[in-house]
Amino acid sequence: MTVQDKIIIKGLLLRAIIGIEEWERRDKQDILIDLTLFTHLDAAGKLDDVDETINYRTLTKAIIQHVEASEYRLVEALATAIARICVVDFKVPRVVVRVEKPGALRFSRSVGVEIEREAIDFE
């Protein structure tokens, strides 16, 4: 059965060193992260048991710790690292990760990437 259920985390605002320019690597910048975690939620819904779902609080704490300690040059690399945490460490079957840098381009609210990964992508 294709996984259609989703846990959605929107607007996770963190700060990290990210960018290729020297000035971008001096101070932490805002990073906006959205996650869509595809997983089976039927057992959690029937049993009302946190052990039957992804503990998104624990997952989010792991992402926060990683991102705030990171120093990536590209948002693509940061998005891939976040996807790896979800899929490899937390066994999420499939994840969509959106990473944005607000104010990265003049006249633009935000610039970012959106990637989709599953376990096979990290083998």
Read off the pLDDT of residues 61-85 as tens digits, 9 standing for 90 and up. 999 999 999 999 999 999 999 999 9
Kindly state whether residue 85 falls inside one of the protein's structural domains.
Answer: yes
The mean pLDDT value for 22-41 works out to 94
pLDDT in tens, 96-121: 999 999 977 788 788 999 999 999 99
The residue with tokens 């052990």 is: 51
**pLDDT classification of 2: cutoffs 50, 70, 90:** low
pLDDT number for residue 105? 75
Kindly state whether residue 93 falls inside one of the protein's structural domains.
Answer: yes
Kindly state whether residue 95 falls inside one of the protein's structural domains.
Answer: yes
Give me the domain span that covers residue 14: 6-122
Q: Examine the pLDDT at 1 and tell me if it is beyond 70.
A: no
pTM of the model: 0.93
The residue with tokens 């906006």 is: 32
Kindly state whether residue 1 falls inside one of the protein's structural domains.
Answer: no
Number of domains in the chain: 1
What CATH code is carried by the domain that includes residue 27?
3.30.1130.10
